[in-house]
Amino acid sequence: MSKRIIKIFDTTLRDGEQSPGATMNVEEKFQIAKCLQRLKIDIIEAGFPIASQGDFEAVQKIANEIKGLTVAGLCRARDIDIDRAGEALKNADNGRIHIVIATSDIHLKHKLKMDRNQVIEASIKAVKRARNILSDVEFSAEDATRSDWDYLCKITEEVIKAGASTVNIPDTVGYTVPQEYFDLITYIKNKVPNIDKAVISVHCHNDLGLGVANTLSAITAGAGQVECTINGIGERAGNASLEEIVMALKTRPAIYNADTNIVTNKIYKTSRLVSKITGMVVQPNKAIIGDNAFAHEAGIHQDGILKNRATYEIMKPEDIGIPSNKIILGKHSGRHAFKVRLTELGFDLSIEDIDRAFEKFKDLTDQKKYVFDEDIETIVSKEISRIEEAYQLKDISFSGGMSANPKAKVVIIHKEEELETEAFGDGMIDAAYKAIAKLTETKSKLNKFEVQSITGGTDAMGEVTVMIEEKGVIVRGTGAHTDVTVAAAIAYINALNRLELKIKRTQKNN
């Protein structure tokens, strides 16, 4: 029997973006979408067009420019949401309107304040409206796994009748377990009379660490589409991770007899790009793409691997696209070599962006002898992430030591004016942050401060990621430099600029 092809619906740009601090701008989303296209994703959920102007523009740009796949836009079961999604998707090769409404009693009572019949009516109306705009409509029964099963079957039947061609049964709160989810999908398949007219989709969150296990269980029960994200990023504990689902199907064909269209040797690049752009570091022991996923530490394992890799390896690193040797560029590398390397790393940049990144690369070769792939990814992701800057860091200098009080002098440009101040602190970074806070008069609170060395060696670039919050708005900022204190200052200024932009946009939307 030939293998079933399971459709991959990637929601990194929508549910993934809902990870705290992972907000992406249009260009960042576009770069990821291009990478997802090369990975051969079937459906890219590009955003939630009604949520903000930025979301609308991202969905529109991806729909206009990424061809040969389906681009989906999320909306609630409301006319304005549906029309906005339709507008954003109008030039897509294949556009899909994705409608979500909750079906569990707890959501109906406390969130929607609607009864079961009202939800069915609103769903039918929404699907019909969407079908008048596009022929591809997906319906999601939010919190399906905590909904009454017969009610879920009823609403599923009705939305299929109204024209939905994909019906999604999300485990919104990551509550279900593999056996129960298998039973639920089987129940729906047996009880919904017109289920053969739609694809059953599953969407699992990872609150109990079961997102991937539940997804695989649903595939066994007959689901034909899975919703997932790169690196498993997403709301709370995240979504089921794409790379784990895809590689489980590949590695265990006898169990699943199913495969995907994914070009697996592009997984690693995509994972790195998403991590760089969102600032969400992949844990070293993460399955498939973590730094340690193919590292063998115990002597007995190393001995086995040297004799035959199959002793301790169930997949080959090259299947995922993990490079076997690192390409190193340096002072004498030219623009052409740099550009070729960018393409190999999965970037697809405009000439202007390449020129800017090349200048940064040259600056870096003055500071460090060898420039690794990781350094290039860092430089380039900063270029992609460039935003309108309310504050620019012009200069920073430090003094201090074991016996002297740490002091930072900071010069920034704001509204074409040069502002300068000094501050003391509990260490150089603290002093720099105090000076920046004084100059910008920020009221934000620093929630997270993380330093990472991009490569090894004392001349390595340090990358700092910060998360700041003001009035419930959380943003991330990153900075990279061979001097980690400078990187920290750049990251803080970057976060303040993002905050200013986000607050401005929110005010415009309200």
168: partner contacted, choices Zn ion, ligand KIV, none (Cβ within 5-8 A by kind): ligand KIV
Helices 267-278, 242-251: crossing angle, 10 deg rounding: 170
Could you say which residues in the range 60-89 bind Zn ion, by CB under 5 A?
Answer: none
Please report, as residue ranges, which positions from 469 to 508 form the binding site for Zn ion (by CB under 5 A): none
Give 242's DSSP letter.
H
Does residue 244 bind Zn ion (CB under 5 A)? Answer: no
Report, in Å, the least distance between residue 15 CB and ligand KIV: 5
Q: In what order do the strands lie in the sheet with 391-399?
A: 391-399, 407-414, 417-424
The distance of closest approach from Cβ of residue 18 to Zn ion in the complex, given in angstroms and rounded to an integer, is 8
CB distance 500 to 415 below 8 Å: no
Q: Which residue is nearest to Zn ion (CB)?
A: 15
**Could you tell which of ligand KIV, Zn ion, none binds residue 107, using a CB distance below 5 to 8 A set by kind?**
none
Picking from 183, 123, 199, the residue whose alpha carbon sits closest to that of residue 155 is: 123
Residue 227 or 243 having the CB closest to ligand KIV: 227
Alpha carbons within 13 A on the beta-carbon side of 221: 25
Please report how close the Cβ of residue 447 comes to Zn ion at its closest, in angstroms.
23
Query: Closer CB to ligand KIV, residue 230 or residue 384?
Result: 230
Residue 140: name its binding partner from Zn ion, ligand KIV, none (Cβ under 5 to 8 Å by kind): ligand KIV
How far is the C-alpha of 393 from the C-alpha of 399, rounded, in Å?
A: 18
- Give me the least distance between CB of 202 and Zn ion, in Å please: 11
Q: How far is the CB of 168 from ligand KIV (least distance, A)?
A: 6
Non-local (6+) Cβ contacts of 35 within 8 A are 266, 269, 270, 273, 274, 346
H-helix or E-strand spanning residue 253: helix 253-256
Strand partners, 306: none
How many residues in the shown chain lie near Zn ion by CB under 5 A? Answer: 1
Asked if 142 interacts with Zn ion (CB under 5 A), we say no
Burial 404-435 (b: 16+ CB within 10 A, else e): eebbbbbbbeeeeeeeeeebebeebbebbbbb
Q: Does 143 bind Zn ion (CB under 5 A)?
A: no
Residue carrying structure tokens 């910060």: 466
Choosing among ligand KIV, Zn ion, none, which partner's interface includes residue 166 (Cβ < 5 to 8 Å by kind)? Answer: none
Q: How far is the CB of 235 from Zn ion (least distance, A)?
A: 6
Measure the N-to-C terminal CA separation of the chain; round to a whole number of Å. Answer: 56
Q: How far is the CB of 171 from Zn ion (least distance, A)?
A: 9
For Zn ion, the closer CB: 107 or 276: 107
Q: For Zn ion, which residue of 7, 8, 9, 15 counts as binding (CB under 5 A)?
A: 15
Given the complex with ligand KIV, which of 114 and 315 has the nearer CB atom?
114
Nearer to Zn ion, 34 or 203 (CB): 203
Stretch that binds Zn ion, among 9-17, 44-52, 119-127, 500-508 (CB under 5 A): 9-17
Q: How far is the CB of 19 from ligand KIV (least distance, A)?
A: 12
Of 203 and 368, the one with the shorter C-beta distance to ligand KIV is 203
Choices 11-19, 49-57, 95-103, 463-471 (CB under 5 A): range interacting with Zn ion: 11-19
Question: CB under 8 Å to 306, separation ≥6 — which residues?
Answer: none
Going by C-alpha positions, the residue among 392, 435, 433 that lies closest to residue 412 is 392
Q: Which residues bind ligand KIV (CB under 6 A)?
A: 15, 74, 100, 140, 142, 168, 170, 172, 203, 205
Q: What distance in Å separates the CA atoms of residue 112 and residue 109, rounded to the nearest whole number?
A: 6
- Within 94-210, residue ranges assigned H as helices are 105-107, 116-133, 149-162, 178-191
Contact 62, 27 (CB under 8 A): no
| Residues at the site binding Zn ion, with contacts judged by CB under 5 A | 15
